[in-house]
Chains A and B, each alone.
Chain A
């Protein structure tokens, strides 16, 4: 009995072993179908309704409008970055490989040298190779706008603080923090100038150390709300889903339907989330447009390596407005986060939410926007821990 069992197991083992050996090794052989684009995502991955989904949105639009084929490679760990990009290059099928996120920079840098004829693009980091287009954003500019808005609205609604929940302390996030601090300071001054009293709205800020743990976003937001924050800015992609949960619960406990407290969205236009009356505005970062544009340049044969810096003046970052809301409700429907039937309610709620804010505040935000675009106001930024420390000293905001 035992022996026959052993025999069976041995035979099965042999079958498996032989099976591995005879499997074909040629799956990565080059087939010269042109017009395919590969997108490599970092561990954050899809479904964040924010940064990564924006890259994916650009890719999908390129597939529809330019007719390119697409393949998406998500990474399970950092050990996947290099092999994922290398596999995409080795296959020879991809005209362009787009890496979404600063974490992939080292891997792009290496594979770009291994495959000098392959075209690459990277978002949020600079890779200095002759076959790479690097796209970076001036997130400090859009963050200044939402910072100014947050300070003025908090003052108007009687809150002493505004908050921000950030991800991992990296240079890109320092841009956000620096701009937000500057904006709050600007908003405080503007409020004083208009009403005659300086509200001295302070800042509560939390680096959660994650771009994936949604529960940490909720916990951090709850803490900031308890400490008196009237608006909380999400600067950690998917953590905004947790931020919004905390804000929705606070609104519910107060017996209200709409904010305050409000969330401020990031990267995509997140104003539609939570029914349209809980996210007051979003600091958009048009990763979708950047992705679409670089694919288009490859299709049209005018791909240019080098670095592009995108800010308010060229639409790379933006303050969310009505037209964006209409566009991004579709984005939410595509992501199965809302249904087609919700569209009307969301638009109505959003309009009511924005109308309850005095008109001069919206004017002030527009004023700052124009001043930044025309160079009359320069928003400070930070790329290193030392530089962000200096900004924190310059704009302490009660902390």
Chain B
């Protein structure tokens, strides 16, 4: 028995998976109590929730389709946190990436190159938007939480302006022009939303894994995030490392906006009120927390998160639970799942001396 435990302990990733399963179970029990309290059948509710997300090929396809943009926005937050930054700017960078993807439709590009040019311009737009908080932080000492929140709002209203004016469809004022067919990702499984855009997400997650754990820049980035002072004394340039974290995050979030528009049927355009982009960036923070801010963990967490979203619809349809209650139950499960990583994150924050942080920032500002 002891040998079995030793063997189990030796399997990498088992401990976090076990921890998360326990946390998830606790969340589910709390959710079940709440459902009981409001006189819904928790067994039927959970059965429809998980059957809807993972019980059939259709369910899996929907879950993966939901996961596609979340993987990318979670990477944005994770790469920031690994570098010691609390970058919550993915939301705005998603909008900017999506706008760039739509705007590319106005450019004369040969059909064969459309897809790749659209992706490149979108990631460039996201990266540029991500660089603004980087420059503000490195040159003026503006904290990234403040600057990214403000930039999210600027991007939000900028998007509203462009949708209503510059990019507005001449046929239908309630949406932008559509992404041209040559720049769209095809649907993998007909009759579902799953499209080849998911390959972009998976590739980028693998690329981030390689970058963070197999390159010098990645090593330095993690070192700065883990202990900025030690990294500084070891001769690392925390400024340029910080730029990298913002830049990579912007690339990822910009792609999230583009992939959502280029792949997800049926509109292939931004609707007024940007309902299909709203909250992708913030949901990514949750996914990153559940996925332990690790690219591979994020892949799993995003599929789980996407599955809850897909299953939530079946819960409405089959178990008759209203959407508000579905969201509360899902929220309980997700918060429970994020608790282990949140705990670690808070411990990490406590270890950093706040006064030290302040003086560091002041030095930067000078």
**Cβ-based interface call for B226 (8 A):** no
Report yes or no: B50 in contact with A10, Cβ–Cβ below 8 A.
no
Query: Known: A23-B54, A23-B55, A76-B309. Is A13-B18 also a contact (CB below 8 A)?
Result: yes
Q: Which segment of B78-86, B114-122, B136-144, B273-281 sits at the interface?
A: B273-281
Given contacts A6-B8, A43-B275, contact A171 B173 (CB under 8 A): yes
Selected interface stretch from A100-108, A140-148, A346-354: A100-108
Give residues 76-106 of A contacting B (CB, 8 Å): 76-80, 82-84, 86-88, 90-91, 102-103, 106
Within 8 A of B (CB), among A1-51: 2-4, 6-10, 12-13, 15-17, 19-20, 23-28, 42-43, 45
Find chain A residues with CB under 8 A from B322 CB: 72, 74
B8 contacts across to A, CB distance below 8 A: 6-7, 10
Q: Do B273 and A209 touch (CB < 8 A)?
A: yes
In the complex, are the beta carbons of B6 and A42 less than 8 A apart?
Answer: no
Establish whether residues A10 and B18, one from each chain, have CB atoms under 8 Å apart when the complex forms: yes
Residues on the B chain within 8 Å of A168, using CB = 160, 174, 272-273
Given A6-B18, A10-B18, A12-B21; A87-B266 close (CB under 8 Å)? no
Q: How far is the CB of B28 from chain A (nearest CB, A)?
A: 9
B residues less than 8 Å from A137 (CB atoms)? none
Contact among B22, B173, B266 for A9, CB-based, below 8 A: B22
Judge if A174 is at the interface, Cβ distance under 8 Å. yes
For residue A24, give the distance in angstroms from its CB to the closest CB of chain B: 6
A16–B28 Cα distance when bound, in Å, is 11
The docked-state distance in angstroms from the alpha carbon of A93 to that of B57 is 21
Contact B272 A170 (CB under 8 A): yes
| Complex-state Cα separation, A102 to B272, whole angstroms | 10
Report the bound CA distance from A299 to B237 in whole Å.
73
Task: Find out whether the CB atom of B165 lies under 8 angstroms from the CB atom of A79.
Answer: no
Q: Could you tell me if A12 and B22 are in contact, using CB atoms closer than 8 angstroms?
A: yes
Q: Does A68 contact B (CB under 8 A)?
A: no
A-B contact count (CB 8 A): 166
Interface size on B, residues (CB 8 A): 64
Q: Which residues of B contact A15 (CB under 8 A)?
A: 21
Min CB gap A114→B, angstroms? 6
A-B contact pairs, 28 of them (CB 8 A): A6-B8, A6-B14, A6-B18, A7-B5, A10-B8, A12-B25, A13-B14, A16-B21, A20-B50, A25-B51, A26-B55, A26-B56, A27-B47, A27-B52, A28-B317, A43-B273, A71-B317, A78-B275, A79-B65, A79-B264, A79-B309, A82-B193, A87-B314, A88-B317, A106-B267, A169-B164, A169-B272, A385-B173
